[in-house]
Amino acid sequence: MSDIEIRKEGRAGRITLNRPKALNALTYPMCLEIEAALDRWRDDDSVALMLIDAAGDRAFCAGGDIAVMYETGTKGDYAYGQKFWRDEYRMNAKIAEYPKPVISLMQGFTMGGGVGVGCHGSHRVVGETAQVAMPECGIGLVPDVGGSGLLAHAPGRLGVYLGVTGRRMGPGDAIHAGFADHFVPEADWPALSAELVETGDADAVLRAATSAPQGDLPALQQEVDRLFAPRTLSAIVTALQADGSDFAADTLTRLGRGSPLAIACTIEMQNRLTPRATIRDALALEYRFTYRAPQHSDFLEGVRAAIIDKDRSPSWRHHALTAVSQEEVAQMLAPLGDDGLDLEEELT
């Protein structure tokens, strides 16, 4: 059985992620197959729209399959990871810039690489089980796959908060933060998919959509904006420690699980990415970090602790959130020169 099912049905080009036992984690070959389908259907007049969904009820896509990156990176081979990210980011950009409607149906976990596939299309649908997040700081990485751009468009300083804590968003919060557009009860998805396939009319999503369950983030907006107003990690930590509220205590606990270097860089990336930032702006900045990540960040140690040994006890390079200097942040996000991300020659 293939890890991904790509086919034409009626008026739709269909992509189904098909690794339910692995929470549909995205492999490198899957990225390339998605890109090839996008290219193939772009000028195919028989394809009116793209429909992306996933097998199983636990996850749309819980992230990227990073075990091979760990294996190659620990041997000093950084080229594999750099190529994986470069090609994955090109696929993310193609979804965001696609000239035809791209509809995604997201159930369960949609995280990391799953956000890159599901949250850049024109009609992003979540169901009642949706749990959307960018938890990369927990493995020593920064929110990527264009996720930093989505965070930059979130209201107020919400993008900083979600990026550094990895907090999960239910369907209402995912819509509030700009990671999804519409709520459709999952029981209605088969009928919606059938209508999309038959008619090629993306407006079927609008007709099927109903009000999403109320999330938690709107009520937290004022606290988030106040406590995350500072523009550096150390200043935010100081503000949280001085506040003493339950929200501040919870946030400090969440921050304590992540890589201090990744968290500090995530904050700086949000400082640089304005609400006018494009997907290409976000991907180019993300690639500066991910290109360097296996060699110069906590990424390999974070993967070891979370995925390989599963001891959940990473030994970060910095033993305190306030120990990261702005010089270190600047080095991780410095331009890459000739090695910088170039999507232009690939996107047609």
DSSP-derived secondary structure for 44-108:
-TT--EEEEEESSSSEEE--B--HHHHHHHTTT--HHHHHHHHHHHHHHHHHHT-SS-EEEEE-B
pLDDT at 275: 87
CA distance 52 to 91: 14
pLDDT at 121: 98
Please identify which of the residues 144, 173, 181, 298 carries the catalytic annotation.
144
Please identify which of the residues 33, 35, 53, 64 carries the catalytic annotation.
64
CA distance 171 to 181: 10
Cα angle 182, 183, 189; round to 5: 105
- CA distances (Å), origin 247, targets 172, 186, 218, 243, 253: 20, 32, 14, 9, 10
Please identify which of the residues 73, 113, 127, 147 carries the catalytic annotation.
113
pLDDT at 347: 43
Residue 6 phi/psi, 5° resolution? -125, 125
Task: Indicate if 144 belongs to the active site.
Answer: yes
CA distance 14 to 34: 10
Q: Which CATH number fits domain 4-339: 3.40.50.2300, 2.102.10.10, 3.30.870.10, 3.90.226.10?
A: 3.90.226.10
| Residue among 85, 310, 123 nearest 209 (CA) | 123
Task: Indicate if 3 belongs to the active site.
Answer: no
| Residue among 160, 197, 246, 159 nearest 46 (CA) | 197
Question: How many other CB atoms are there within 10 angstroms of residue 198's CB atom?
Answer: 13
**Unique residue bearing structure tokens 């995530």:** 266
Task: Indicate if 345 belongs to the active site.
Answer: no
| Residue among 40, 32, 41, 33 nearest 12 (CA) | 41
Are 104 and 53 in contact, with CB atoms under 8 Å apart?
yes
Task: Indicate if 63 belongs to the active site.
Answer: no
pLDDT at 348: 43
- CA distances (Å), origin 319, targets 17, 99, 112, 140, 328: 38, 47, 25, 13, 15
CA distance 296 to 261: 10
pLDDT at 345: 55
Compute mean pLDDT per 10 residues along the chain, 348 residues long, and list them.
94 98 96 97 98 98 91 95 96 98 98 98 98 98 98 98 98 98 98 98 98 97 98 98 97 98 98 94 98 97 95 96 97 97 67
Please identify which of the residues 88, 136, 268, 298 carries the catalytic annotation.
136
Cα 68 from chain centroid? 19
